[in-house]
Amino acid sequence: MNYIKLDKTRCKACYLCVDVCPKKLIIKGSQPNSLGHFPVEFKDPDNKCIGCAMCAMRCPDIAITEVVKN
């Protein structure tokens, strides 16, 4: 199973990662963080993540702190 680690306290809700995920596994969240932004959420119930790390490469704030591939 591939997955990403998300630090929601770092997310500024630019949503650039939402667009680059080829499997559309990152969505705009509905719960605000301490910055007042609505950070993204990673939803992968069907284990579709391919561990490409494009979301982490795109994120300007290193809110995606780790990408793990098996």
Residues that bind other proteins (CB under 8 A): 1, 10, 12-16, 19-20, 37, 51, 53-54, 56-62, 64-70
Q: How far is the CB of 14 from other proteins (least distance, A)?
A: 3
Half-sphere exposure of 63 (CA within 13 A, CB side): 25
Q: Which is nearer to other proteins, 43 or 61 (CB)?
A: 61
Q: How far is the CB of 56 from other proteins (least distance, A)?
A: 4
Which of 34, 1, 8 lies closest to 26, judged by CA?
A: 8
Maximum pairwise Cα distance, the chain: 34
